């Protein structure tokens, strides 16, 4: 019993889950090792089908499979990884129902933490861009888009209406292109069917891509074909354009152009999971360096694979691309070699060189670049459906997706908007010069604290022209008067130097101010000063 080894896998994507599946097979009837897997979610996301969740052509649950169904002999820890202690061979996870640390010791460690979309250092993106990476993102995008159309249907201000009906997607790789195609089809379809004041021609989906053609993963001809198909359906593509910054109401492009929008989705840039950054192991531009045996350089019990690792390409040129087909096949080799290092035996080398790529463009069209063949149109779309259906893990999922695809032929798309994401009590917002944070007469629903940048407060004087009454700098707050005294804003606040703010909701601000006497006194003092300032005309 004391000889039993413990293998701990971090990450539940293609790399992690398939490593566990292969380890379970190799375990067979023996009992000489145990398998643990730590992941934030209790399900495995089949990334290629995620875009179809946006349009609802498959059910919310159909693109994911519960890990407990796939892994019968693996102990699952549905937690976040907080720390990896290489010296003591222990993984520490986030707390569960009680605030106690949970420690999982290991003999062998498999790092398969994948990538995350990260907007760090890009002004306004962490606050205002929606990533498209996991199931929650897909649902959020769907619900947000439906909400925007519903609001546009009752909105009378033409500028706001246009913002609500403009949808910007950054990144022309597979996931950006599939999201743009799906969102465009879905929104134009429901606009046609269900909204009196919104038609398909009012919906604008804009795709931004940094290079001069989309889908760099496939052959040039196919990328051009895909762009043509998207443009025929009304998607606007901006080539050689990156997203530079964002505010609540705008996407600001590298070209200087500003697109007024309330929906900004970004599939780029991606970088390895932040946990990888904290682990001291040999790395190449942030990715863990693993060899063709999937072992981390210089270690005999740490393994890494999938998108968080750099693994040499078996052809000898470059590295394996961050795709599902490579992750799944690396997993088989890693599992074999881990068992070989426990039981003894020869090791395998990773030898897979790739099969090709496919991208669905919706409406029975797609592109595929498979084993040297370049295919486009309905044949590529059919290949996409057949091949991915066969790869989707779990027999029940295969049946459910098949049924969903059949029903999708007969029934119009669904448009239930699940309001599952309550507005945060404390959120960060980014403003650019000239933007209004709020206008005189607006409802007072939040108080703002300036983190960086500058704002000006102005009121209208008797003659209808604006009068500046204050300039606010970091550490100062505004908007408290409407919360404490009245329901609408008495002044207009405008950003005069690129600004980050913390916005605190009325309800929570009230609760804090009521219960923290020092905070309340400080606010009341400030308010008194401001009221006197306004009254005396200063």
Site for its own copies, residues 450 to 469, rule: CB under 8 A: 450-451
Q: How much is the CA Rg of the chain, to the nearest whole Å?
A: 26
242 sits near its own copies (criterion: CB under 8 A): no
Helix (H, G, I), strand (E, B) or coil at 404: helix
CA–CA distance, 6 with 109 (Å, rounded to integer): 9
Among 5, 78, 254, 363, binds its own copies (CB under 8 A): 78
Residue with smaller CB distance to its own copies, 41 or 297 = 41
User: Are 368 and 377 within 8 A, CB to CB?
Assistant: no
88 sits near its own copies (criterion: CB under 8 A): no
Backbone dihedral region of 298: left (phi > 0), alpha (psi from -120 to 50 degrees) or beta? left
Footprint on residues 516-535 left by its own copies (CB under 8 A)? 516-519, 522
Cβ 136 to its own copies shortest distance, Å: 6
403 sits near its own copies (criterion: CB under 8 A): yes
Cβ 474 to its own copies shortest distance, Å: 7
Residue with smaller CB distance to its own copies, 65 or 376 = 65
440 sits near its own copies (criterion: CB under 8 A): no
Residue with smaller CB distance to its own copies, 468 or 511 = 511
Cβ 323 to its own copies shortest distance, Å: 24
80 sits near its own copies (criterion: CB under 8 A): no
Nearest to 134 by CA among 3, 267, 18: 267
Among 195, 239, 352, 405, binds its own copies (CB under 8 A): 195
Cβ 164 to its own copies shortest distance, Å: 7
263-266 β-sheet, strand order: 130-131, 263-266, 166-170, 204-208, 236-238
Cβ 4 to its own copies shortest distance, Å: 15
User: H or E element: which one contains 380?
Assistant: helix 378-391
Nearest to 364 by CA among 375, 380, 348: 380
475 sits near its own copies (criterion: CB under 8 A): yes
Among 147, 313, 348, 391, binds its own copies (CB under 8 A): 147
Give the list of residues 6+ apart from residue 100 with CB closer than 8 angstroms, or none. none
416 sits near its own copies (criterion: CB under 8 A): yes
Cβ 478 to its own copies shortest distance, Å: 13
Cβ 475 to its own copies shortest distance, Å: 5
Residue with smaller CB distance to its own copies, 141 or 215 = 141
| Long-range contacts, 325-328 (Cβ 8 Å, 24+) | 325/352, 325/354, 325/355, 326/352, 326/354, 327/13, 327/14, 327/15, 327/18, 327/112, 328/14, 328/15, 328/18
Footprint on residues 9-68 left by its own copies (CB under 8 A)? 40-43, 56, 59-61, 64-66, 68
Helix (H, G, I), strand (E, B) or coil at 206: strand
3-state secondary structure 470-525: EEECCCCEECHHHHHCCCECCCEEEEEEEEEEEEEEHHHHHHHHHHCHHHHHHHHH
Among 442, 458, 484, 498, binds its own copies (CB under 8 A): 442
User: Both tokens of residue 351?
Assistant: 């030898």
Residue with smaller CB distance to its own copies, 237 or 447 = 447
How many residues contact its own copies, by CB under 8 A? 89
Cβ 135 to its own copies shortest distance, Å: 7
484 sits near its own copies (criterion: CB under 8 A): no
Report residue 54 CA to chain centroid gap.
13
Footprint on residues 243-282 left by its own copies (CB under 8 A)? 262
Interface stretch with its own copies, choices 21-29, 121-129, 133-141, 289-297 (CB under 8 A): 133-141
Helix (H, G, I), strand (E, B) or coil at 251: strand
Footprint on residues 321-380 left by its own copies (CB under 8 A)? none
395 class by beta-carbon count within 10 Å (0-12 exposed, 13-18 middle, 19+ buried): exposed
Among 1, 98, 371, 463, binds its own copies (CB under 8 A): 98
């Amino acid at each position: 019993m004391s000889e039993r080894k413990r293998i701990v896998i971090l990450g539940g994507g293609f790399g992690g889950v398939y490593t566990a599946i292969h380890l379970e097979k190799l375990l067979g009837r023996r009992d000489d090792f145990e398998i643990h897997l730590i992941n934030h979610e209790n399900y495995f996301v089949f990334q290629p089908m995620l875009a179809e969740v946006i349009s609802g052509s498959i059910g919310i649950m159909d693109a994911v499979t519960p890990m407990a169904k796939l892994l019968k002999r693996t102990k699952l820890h549905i937690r976040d990884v907080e720390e990896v202690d290489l010296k003591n061979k222990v993984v520490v996870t986030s707390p569960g129902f009680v605030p106690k640390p949970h420690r999982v010791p290991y003999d062998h460690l498999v790092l398969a933490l994948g990538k995350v979309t990260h907007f760090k250092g890009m002004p306004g993106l962490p606050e205002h861009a929606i990533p498209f990476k996991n199931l929650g993102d897909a649902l959020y995008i769907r619900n947000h888009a439906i909400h925007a159309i519903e609001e546009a249907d009752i909105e009378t201000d033409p500028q706001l209406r246009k913002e609500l009906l403009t949808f910007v997607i950054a990144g022309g790789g597979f996931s950006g292109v599939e999201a743009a195609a799906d969102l465009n089809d879905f929104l134009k379809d429901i606009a046609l069917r269900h909204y009196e004041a919104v038609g398909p021609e009012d919906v604008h989906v804009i795709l931004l891509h940094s290079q001069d053609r989309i889908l760099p993963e496939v052959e040039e001809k196919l990328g051009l074909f895909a762009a043509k198909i998207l443009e025929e359906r009304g998607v606007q593509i901006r080539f050689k354009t990156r997203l530079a910054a964002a505010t609540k109401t705008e996407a600001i492009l590298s070209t200087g152009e500003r697109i007024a929008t309330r929906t900004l989705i970004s599939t780029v840039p991606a970088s390895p999971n932040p946990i990888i950054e904290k682990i001291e192991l040999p790395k190449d531009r942030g990715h863990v360096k693993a060899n063709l045996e999937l072992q981390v350089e210089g270690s005999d019990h740490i393994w890494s694979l999938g998108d968080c690792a750099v693994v040499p390409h078996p052809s000898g040129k470059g590295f394996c691309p961050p795709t599902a087909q490579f992750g799944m096949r690396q997993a088989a080799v890693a599992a074999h070699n881990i068992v070989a290092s426990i039981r003894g035996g020869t090791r395998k080398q990773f030898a897979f060189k790739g099969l090709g790529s496919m991208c669905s463009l919706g409406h029975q069209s797609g592109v595929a670049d498979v084993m040297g063949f370049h295919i486009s149109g309905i044949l590529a779309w059919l290949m996409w459906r057949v091949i991915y259906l066969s790869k989707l893990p779990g027999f029940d999922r295969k049946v459910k997706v098949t049924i969903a695809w059949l029903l999708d032929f007969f029934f119009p798309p669904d448009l239930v908007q699940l309001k599952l994401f309550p507005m945060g009590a404390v959120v960060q917002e980014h403003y650019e010069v000239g933007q209004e944070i709020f206008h005189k007469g607006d409802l007072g629903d939040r108080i703002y604290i300036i983190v960086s940048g500058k704002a000006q407060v102005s009121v209208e004087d008797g003659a209808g022209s604006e009068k500046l009454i204050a300039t606010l700098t970091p550490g100062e707050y505004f908007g408290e008067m409407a919360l404490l005294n009245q329901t609408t804003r008495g002044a207009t606040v405008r950003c005069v130097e690129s600004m980050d703010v913390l916005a605190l909701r009325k309800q929570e601000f009230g609760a804090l101010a009521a219960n923290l006497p020092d905070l309340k006194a400080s606010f009341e003092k400030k308010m008194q000063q401001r009221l006197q300032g306004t009254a005396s005309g200063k």
